Amino acid sequence: MATEQKPVGVAVLGYGNVGSEVVRIIENSAADLAARIGAPLVLRGVGVRRVNANRGVPIGLLTDDIDGLVSRDDVDIVVELMGPVEPARKAILTAIEHGKSVVTANKALLASSTGDLARAAERAHVDLYFEAAVAGAIPVIRPLTQSLAGDTVQRVAGIVNGTTNYILSEMETTGADYASALADASVLGYAEADPSADVDGYDAASKAAILASIAFHTTVTADDVYREGITAITPDDFVSARALNCTIKLLAICERITDADGTEMVSARVYPALVPATHPLATVGGAFNAVVVEAEASGRVMFYGQGAGGTPTASAVAGDIVMAARNRVQGGRGPRESKYAQLPIAPIGKVSTRYYVSMDVADKPGVLAAVAAEFAKREVSIAEVRQEGVVDDGGQRVGARIVVVTHRATDAALSETVRALEDLDAVASVASVLRLEGTNP
């Protein structure tokens, strides 16, 4: 008669949207999970800030003694879903020190401390899994660490924040301005009461740091990621984007670049960009996420799906729990941190891409030539230029607008050009500067 496997004990820290859904999966799918793992998965406790009887879980499982819970002998895996960076970091390190494997969805913590946590897990010979930290239910981390482990990743680019993608999609389809689209996102629950982490790009920057670290075997923190948000995007930008057969998306881009002296570097950046309608990311609408990975041998691979929400994120967390539990039962280990390359981080000034520059100018002869001259002085080649009249509410022409699309140029050269344009008497203002991604010229 076969010996029954010892149960794998799980402690969940946090009982919000994701935590409650993870607990539901553990309880409602017990038989299936046991079959997949090879041993029963047992919920040992749920760590909360305040214990009360209205949580939908037996009160005997609730505790506000986080350190005590993660140190218990009958707990094998700690699932951290409480955030923010602290007290989550302390709880995870305490769990690791007591020999527990850890599953977390805490992107802000991982973007600042992934190296410390990974080294602690390595010393303790336990697992650290974090699939849910980037793009919710979309499997991105595991393909990068396992499926593409034998390939050389060149670029990872994607839409990794559902709130901003919803706002930009609404602006494109309805013609709404930023403030109105944000208000709609708030009503639907896509935007937090304080949306700055999303709309200013901080959330996407944390995810970009995680993706770059894994893809390029290099320590990249959120502070290394160049960041711009979407608050300055206007309906006029979408009008111009449509004229160029493009849309606008907030992109997280991580890529290998080589500078003028042949040094290989890592660039990690987040900003709104024009994306051609023919690019696969252009069709990702609403609160959905998508990540495109480009590798040397496998070419382009795309991952698409629900990027946020309690149920999709809990699905990714549950997958990590199963992986960690299997390793416990079988005596194995998950992938270790790989930072052997330690490539330098490229400053944004060295990054080369295409640009869209819109400026309001005086409506008189010679202005276009003066504008073109400033681009030429800094060797920023113009691919396309359009000049159109600006009229007031009465239909009277009151000025002109020039839109320039460049060939590839460094950010440093483009920034110098913009400063020079702003100093021209004929230029009233540089209304918008956006990158153009997903094209080659």
Instruction: State whether CATH 3.30.360.10 applies to domain 142-306.
Output: yes
Q: Where in the chain is the domain with CATH 3.40.50.720?
A: 8-136+310-330
Residue 15 marked ligand-binding: yes
Residue 99 backbone class (left: φ over 0; alpha: ψ -120 to 50; beta: rest): left
**Entry pTM:** 0.92
Q: What is the model's pLDDT at position 399?
A: 78
Q: What is the model's pLDDT at position 436?
A: 96
* CATH class for the domain made up of 349-436: alpha beta
Q: What is the model's pLDDT at position 395?
A: 62
Q: What is the model's pLDDT at position 268?
A: 98
Q: What is the model's pLDDT at position 178?
A: 97
Has 207 been annotated as catalytic? yes
Q: What is the model's pLDDT at position 391?
A: 62
Q: Which entry of 207, 249, 339, 364 is annotated as an active-site residue?
A: 207
Residue 289 marked ligand-binding: no
CA atoms within 13 A on the CB side of 373: 7
Residue 169 marked ligand-binding: no
Q: Where in the chain is the domain with CATH 3.30.360.10?
A: 142-306
Q: What is the model's pLDDT at position 23?
A: 96
Residue 20 marked ligand-binding: yes
CB burial of residue 28 (10 Å; 0-12, 13-18, 19+): exposed
Using 50 as the pLDDT threshold, list the residues of the chain that sit under it. 1-2
* Residue 223: Cβ within 10 Å count: 11
Residue 170 backbone dihedrals phi, psi, to 5 degrees = -65, -40
Superfamily of domain 8-136+310-330 in the CATH hierarchy:
NAD(P)-binding Rossmann-like Domain (3.40.50.720)
Q: What is the model's pLDDT at position 307?
A: 72
Q: Do the bridges between strand 409-410 and strand 352-361 make them parallel or antiparallel, or are there none, so unpaired? A: antiparallel
